[in-house]
Structure 1
């Protein structure tokens, strides 16, 4: 026979959940051998417990918390929904200190970034009449836009996290993903990070290079001295051409 199950229904009779109970020798038990005992909590519904008591086992059941739900969403790869839940319940999560909402956001960022890196870019000219490449490029563009938006939501004024993600996009030569939202103040990143960014942009995306250089000047960063090596390289490149 099948093992016993605990089924949860609402007042309308809708079936919400079902779990098999790990009961030893359940074949020998009858319906009257099981008891459901409720242990209320005076502090929070999350701390309530239910006990399924049988002759040889006691199974403890607890209500599903927001932490449980977020973990379940992440296990299913639904990082977008997990991040939205973390945002909606950020105060509760911070108080209970079981899940850091920002860590959930960074996991969402990682999932977007990995998809961008893994999604092949279609050829410039699609002559075979197949729209697969067009769809792939459209998906990439949506992911790239989403990445910048989520960076601002998650990283905020955290200098260390901004620098970590700047290095991540530099390593994959994906700087355009972050350059439009890259902070130059509040927080202001370290000199070495800006230098690495400018060095890569100078060769891969000159337009972004010039825009960032102007932005750094606007915020009174002495880029001409700080990044003299970078600009010197730029000048040498122009001289060769």
Structure 2
């Protein structure tokens, strides 16, 4: 089947068998009209090239060309037709160069020939419709959201975040924060707590609500000690006192030296020292280990009140 398409008012695309021809309708020069008995306009083939497949349809994509076709050779194992392919090619400068080629998963493709497929399009929207006897597939140019979707689906969160950062941090569907939270959940599930803590600081920045929501995830897996070095500690960025108190409680139970250290280093205005004092007193009633460390921390906490 010969495929004809007007890609512009004076540009005709022709796809026939395995050959593509781009023709331009032009007006003859006055000299040509005077010296020869010819029509005023002519069809001038400006590009001609061959493909490795039989052409089922073609169309323009900005300055490039979209081709729908069926491979010439049958499948070596089954002896039946192969999957149809959708290619994007550059054809300027008298060279034909395929930029991308994708095989399409069409139901029943083994029984179809190139004439069983049809390519339609909305040129203004760069949207293409691949029509077969059983399926209609809609294709559109690959954008940033598509790329981020693919990267996150394949677990390449770091690359997805980098892509978003390069374009200002967000698109219509994704942002550094949303992808970062996905990545954070993935790291926690893989028990990569230190990497998750570093990422948390990277994505949360000055967002207090986001900080608190992510810190609670570390609390669920008893890893508040891992996130504690990265938690905001200035008055301008201070979180809810309860968040800092949760971190104190974890240190109190499992790391007395770490508990004393944060009592010494953290600004007492970040938390309610009286609440921590009560927890220390309760803990001292049930432990005989490292009592001197807890008593030293308790003395400091009393001084802060």
Q: Do they fold alike, i.e. is TM over 0.5? A: yes
**Alignment match, 1:51:** 129
Normalised TM-score (structure 2): 0.56
Gaps of 5+ in 2: 1-80, 296-305
- Give the equivalent residue in structure 1 for 2:222: 173
Larger CA Rg, structure 1 vs 2: 2
Alignment-derived partner of residue 198 in structure 2? 149
Q: SS of 2:267's equivalent?
A: helix
Counterpart CA distance in 2 for 1:33 and 1:235 is: 79
**Alpha-carbon distance between aligned partners in 2 of 1:91 and 1:191, rounded to the nearest angstrom:** 30
Pairwise CA distance, 1:229: 1.5
* Partner residue of 1:74 out of 142, 152, 169: 152
Q: Aligned equivalents of 1:25 and 1:169: distance in 2?
A: 50
Aligned equivalents of 1:102, 1:92: Cα separation in 2: 9
- CA distance, structure 1, for counterparts of residue 98 and residue 257 of structure 2: 58
Query: Do residues 211 (structure 1) and 251 (structure 2) align?
Result: no
Question: Is 2:117 the partner of 1:39?
Answer: no
Measured against aligned partners, the alpha-carbon deviations of 1:33-53 in whole angstroms (never above 9, x if no partner) come to 644646135xxxxxx223345
Say which SS state the counterpart of residue 227 (structure 1) adopts: helix
Aligned counterpart, 2:250: 200
Picking from 228, 238, 252, the partner of 1:188 is 238
Counterparts of 2:270 and 2:112 in 1: how far apart (Å)?
A: 78
Looking at secondary structure, tell me which structure has more helix per residue: 1
1:13 aligns with 2:97: yes
- The counterpart of 1:115, out of the listed 190, 202, 211, is 190
Gaps of 5+ in 1: 42-47, 117-142
CA distance in 1, matches of 2:277, 2:100: 64
Contact persistence 1:195–1:230 (CA under 8 A): no
**Partners of 1:100 and 1:62 in 2: CA distance:** 22
Q: Name the counterpart of 1:61.
A: 139
> Matched residues in 2 for 1:213 and 1:58: separation?
65
Task: After the TM superposition, list the runs of 4 or more consecutive aligned residues in structure 1 that deviate by more than 6 angstroms.
Answer: 23-26, 54-57
Higher strand fraction (1 or 2) = 2
- The match for 1:85 among 133, 139, 163 is 163
Q: Which moved further from structure 2: 62-71 or 26-35?
A: 26-35
Match of 2:190, SS state, is helix
